[in-house]
Amino acid sequence: MSINIVTLIGRVGTDPDMKYFESGSVKCKLTLAVNRRTKDGDHTDWFNLELWGKTAQVAGDYVRKGKQIAVKGSLKFDTWSDRATGANRSTPVIHVDQLQLLGSKRDAEEADVDINPENF
């Protein structure tokens, strides 16, 4: 049995980077800052998020830098060959399946949306 589930709550570090494909698909990239408490104090971890389809479109419409969100998805690794050195590189990416907008009451009034692609 294998399990690959990631759940994070944090603040968005960048405005959505949207990409529209000729096929009609939509991709959104975001960064997410998540605080982690340790005995030495709080530390911030940064995660790269990748959203597709309707979830990506909602993120593009409602998510902005500084907004608090919750995401659920799976961990994957993007790999490439470094152009300068030819070395193989990789970076972890969270492939988001569910997005929930959180934050202040004012934020909720602007857009109170809980996105799960199964609802569409």
Whether residue 1 is contained in a domain is answered as no
Tell me 56's DSSP state.
Answer: H
Query: What's the predicted TM-score (pTM) here?
Result: 0.80
**Looking at the domain assignment, is residue 28 inside a domain?**
yes
Residue 71 within a domain: yes
Which pLDDT score is estimated for 68?
Answer: 96
Structure tokens at 1: 């049995």
- Show the domain range for 53: 6-119
The H-or-E segment that residue 100 falls in is strand 88-101
CATH number at residue 45: 2.40.50.140
Query: How many domains, in total, are found in the chain?
Result: 1
In this predicted model, what pLDDT tens digit does every residue of 8-52 receive, in sequence order?
A: 999 999 999 999 999 999 999 999 999 998 888 889 999 999 999
- Does the residue 68 lie in any domain? yes
Cα separation, 53 vs 114, whole angstroms: 15
State which H helix or E strand residue 34 sits in.
Answer: strand 26-38
